[in-house]
């Protein structure tokens, strides 16, 4: 999958109301959805850290400060450098929220909670997990997860990205309504 297609599929997931613009509220809601899905309280240090990382990411994404990010703005911004400097802490924080047993890895249930809360179609989650669980131990480590997401947004080969965001699943990436 080329980088523009990969970015378009991620943007579609971020644009939860489908209006063609990712708002600050839509972006910030990701941490809230994962926190709710994992039963974490608002004052949990991991929730606070995930929200703070999201706020820093939003400030970088919304470079013109108008409160919304169009696909064109997102496509120009997203990529390896943005991932390394801005997105990795956000996605790492969301991973940490889902890692309820705090062992540094997600089992299938934790991975499913995370990816469902982020808006991925349930039909692709087991395939994505299997693509990341290369040794078949039933766990996906944080570094492998982040590397796979980075590869996807950079337009590189990412078996997890292909499973979660494949073109045949694009119709399932309908906007995630507020839960």
| pTM listed for this prediction | 0.85
Q: Cβ(158)–Cβ(151) under 8 Å?
A: yes
**Local confidence pLDDT in tens for the 179 residues of the chain:** 677 887 888 898 899 999 999 999 999 999 999 999 999 999 999 999 999 999 999 999 998 999 999 999 999 898 888 888 988 999 999 999 999 999 999 999 999 999 999 888 788 889 889 989 988 999 999 999 998 888 887 777 777 777 776 544 444 444 433 33
Class of domain 3-168: mainly alpha
Number of residues that this document lists for the chain:
179
pLDDT at 157: 76
Could you tell me the residue ranges of all domains in the chain? 3-168
CA–CA gap between residue 105 and residue 71 (Å, rounded): 32
pLDDT at 21: 97
CA–CA gap between residue 72 and residue 142 (Å, rounded): 30
């Amino acid at each position: 999958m080329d980088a523009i297609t990969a970015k378009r599929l991620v943007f579609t997931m971020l644009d939860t109301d489908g209006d063609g613009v990712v708002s600050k509220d839509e972006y910030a809601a990701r941490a809230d959805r994962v926190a709710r899905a994992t039963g974490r309280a608002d004052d949990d240090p991991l929730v606070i850290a995930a929200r703070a990382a999201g706020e820093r990411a939003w400030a970088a994404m919304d470079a013109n400060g108008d409160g919304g990010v169009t696909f064109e703005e997102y496509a120009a911004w997203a990529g390896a450098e943005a991932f390394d400097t801005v997105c990795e802490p956000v996605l790492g924080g969301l991973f940490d929220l889902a890692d309820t047993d705090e062992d540094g890895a997600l089992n299938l249930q934790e991975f499913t909670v995370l990816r469902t809360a982020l808006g991925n179609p349930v039909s692709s989650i087991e395939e994505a997990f299997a693509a990341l669980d290369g040794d078949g131990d039933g766990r996906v480590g944080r570094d492998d997860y982040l590397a796979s997401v980075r590869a996807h947004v950079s337009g590189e080969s990412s078996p997890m990205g292909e499973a979660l965001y494949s073109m045949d699943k694009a119709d399932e990436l309908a906007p995630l309504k507020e839960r």
